[in-house]
Structure 1
Amino acid sequence: MRSRSHLRDWWAALPPAAGGAVMAAGILSVGLELTGRHLLSLAALAVSALLWLLLAADFTVRLAVDRGRFRAEADTPAALTAVAATTVLGTRLSQLGRQDAAAALLALAALIWPGLLLAVVRHWRRRMPGVVFLGCVATQGLAVLAAALATVHRLDWLARAALACFCLGIVLYALALRHFDFHEVLRGAGDHWVAGGSLAITALAAARLAASPAGAGGPAHTVLRAAALTALALSLVWYAVLLAAEVRSPRPGYDVRRWSTVFPLGMTATACLTAAPVTGVAALGPLGGVLLWVAVGACALTCAAFLRSRRPARPRPR
């Protein structure tokens, strides 16, 4: 009975940032599938889908029962993990061939995205943590999923909508960069990695668009290829800087925002793997494979830290 009550209290206390765990598992599933690790990919997909259902139920309950808390949390950048997590899960389902389910998730994400984005942007302030980049991540997540479905179904209008989201995502990144507190690089709790991860998903969106009806050939394909390479190069620079900062200032304790470290690591790897055949830069493939296992290792460490944090404190000897 006590354990059930403890689980209920834990669920009620889940912050919006918990959506980062859905995003982390989802993008690892995409990357593992790209490298042929089908069973591991399906396991990560199962975890992502289960967590998404849990958080979707929590989102619905708060909307129906606790409007005050819902409105307060909807104003925070972390609320946009609801959109980003939905698009990442949808992208993996599209990769699996479940196009109807992916389309339903795209419609859901597109439905909640404008209201959450406007609420979040209106409350931006100076010197914000890395979650400020989630506006870009959520918007580029829509671009990635829409481009994937547009490619499968050969839908020009959906490809153009994806291109519009891609362009808006770049603008949102530039605006977020102005509000980001660069001191977070050395003291952030994990979400500071989104500064680089948002560029990685921008590169992924450009690569997907380059293969879609919006960029199948001509100048559009050339521009999107260049955008993918530029965004990916910048994300790798961020990767190196943030990794060096972690070595200089280790932060070993568990924090829910650490899932927002795992997601950018996995996203950078996936962007490399996806961009390699589109851009013709073959070296990105092996690099993506190495970075993917770095992301898997970071996920395992974060899981271990989470389990340690759930252990009851030992009573001190008298």
Structure 2
Amino acid sequence: MRREWRDEVTPAAGACVMATGIISVGLYLTGHDVLSEIFLAVSCVLWLILAADFVDLLVRDRSRWTAAAVTPPALTAVAATTVVGTRFALLGWPELAIALLAVAALVWPGLLLAVVQHWRRHGMPGGVFLVCVATQGLAVLAATLCLAGEGDWLGDAALACFALGLLLYAYALPRFDFRQTTTGAGDHWVAGGALAISALAASRLTAVPLWPGTGHDVLRVLAFVLLGLALAWYAVLLAAEVVWPRFHYDVRRWATVFPLGMTAVAALSTGVVTDVPWLRALGRVLLWVAVAAWGLVWVGFTWARAGGPRGAPQSHPFSETGAPPQTPLLKRRRG
């Protein structure tokens, strides 16, 4: 019997929400309000579908849920929630943004600890950096709400998450299999995307007026350094895609689109906060690259669903965790 599409949802599918949501943020920052709200609506629908599958699996099949929860892609649940929350904060809906921040903050520590406890010492795919992405997502949303006047304590919380996110990136980097740049199915781009969201968090914190003087200067420098590193990763990974092209659709390709969009938004935000016009111009160019990639991945998804070729299965990167490869978030029993 042919499986329904919901049976194919995996933890990695959360990157689709992240990619769509961050493009919505970028379109808002560049003045494309209507298009931004369309992307926001799509990301909200996807978030609701994935959240329903997440809860349904937790209720119906706890062992499978546990197996999925110890893999790094599970942290896309946190990251996706913070990205959508950030867009709602920018839209002027702080109550909803705070609710999403609360949801993400409640889920984050349990998933983070479970994922880190099941790490290997080396040979991990790009999803290993999701520990940084999820943590920096909290920092970005909290800083955005602080800037919206929702409380100075949110700025302090954002700063703490930002610092922890940088430590988690440093902790994850030695475990990353750098060969993934030539063989990865898409999630290898998170190596750069994690630095891009760190740069975005630094730029948002730079705008928070709680740390004048030296604190402000340090955050400003960090924003430039992190953005520079993210752009360096962008160039390396793009070159690898050209030399070792991977044209088949894989759900992990959404983890490529997200870093593309996040790098664009980080450049836009840093350019605005630091008043560097060429960064804003670069961000606009990179944003449309991300939009084009988003469209191409949707085409690949549609083609794959229609019977077109999919990416060749890779050896499961979390074999030591006991989780099955590409564990579905929802696998219904057939009568």
Q: TM-score, normalised by structure 1?
A: 0.95
CA distance in 1, matches of 2:150, 2:110: 29
Correspondence list, 1:8-157, <5 A: 10-125=5-120, 126-153=122-149, 155-157=151-153
Please list the CA deviations of residues 142-170 of structure 1 after superposition, one character each: whole Å capped at 9, or x if unmatched: 00000011111252211111100000000
Residue 185 (structure 1) aligns with: 181
Identity %: 61
In the alignment, structure 1 residue 296 sits paired with structure 2 residue 286:
no
Q: Structure 1 residue 67: deviation in Å?
A: 0.3
Determine the C-alpha separation between the residues in 2 that align with 1:171 and 1:183. 23
Displacement of 1:6 after TM fit?
A: 4.2
- Cα pair 1:150 1:213 within 8 Å, conserved: no
Q: In 1, distance between residues paired with 2:210 and 2:80?
A: 25
Shift in Å, 1:218: 1.3
Q: For residue 192 of structure 1, what is the amino acid of its counterpart?
A: H
Task: Pick 1 or 2: higher relative contact order, CA cutoff 8 A, min separation 6.
Answer: 2
SS in 1 for 2:23: helix
Whether 1:214 aligns to 2:217 is: no
What do residues 96-124 of structure 1 show as CA deviations (whole Å, max 9, x unaligned)? 00110000000000000000000001111
Q: 75-84 vs 31-40, which deviates more?
A: 31-40
Matched, 1:176 2:172: yes
1:88 & 1:290 partners in 2: Cα distance?
A: 21
The 1-side partners of 2:90 and 2:248 are apart by 34
Partner amino acid for 2:165?
Answer: G
Question: Could you tell me whether the CA contact under 8 Å between 1:48 and 1:89 is conserved in 2?
Answer: yes
What is the CA deviation profile of residues 211-245 of structure 1, one whole-angstrom value per residue up to 9, with x for unaligned ones? 12434x21111011001000000000000000000
Distance 1:192 1:206 in 2: 23
Give the 4+ runs in structure 1 shifted more than 6 A.
none
Which runs of structure 2 are paired with 1:207-286 in the superposition (5 Å)?
207-215=203-211, 217-286=212-281
1:184 maps to a residue whose letter is Q
The structure whose residues are more often helix, as a share, is 1
TM-score by length of 2: 0.90
* Structure 2: gaps of 5 or more residues: 310-335
Which range moves more in the overlay, 138-147 or 275-284?
A: 275-284
The answer to whether the 8 A contact 1:154-1:213 is kept is no
Let me know the Cα RMSD of the aligned residues: 1.3
- After superposition, what is the alpha-carbon deviation per residue over 1:30-57, rounded to whole angstroms, capped at 9, x for unaligned? 0011111111111111110000000000
User: Which of 197-206 and 272-281 deviates more?
Assistant: 272-281
What's the offset of the Cα at 1:282?
1.8
After TM superposition, give the deviation of residue 280 of structure 1 in Å: 2.4
How far apart, in 2, do the equivalents of 1:281 and 1:171 lie?
A: 28
Distance of 1:131 and 1:221 partners within structure 2: 31
* Alignment partners' CA distance in 2, 1:251 and 1:77: 22
Question: Which residue identity is paired with 2:178?
Answer: F
Q: Distance in 1 between matches of 2:171 and 2:284?
A: 32
- Aligned equivalents of 1:213, 1:151: Cα separation in 2: 8
Tell me the amino acid that sits aligned with residue 232 of structure 2.
Answer: V
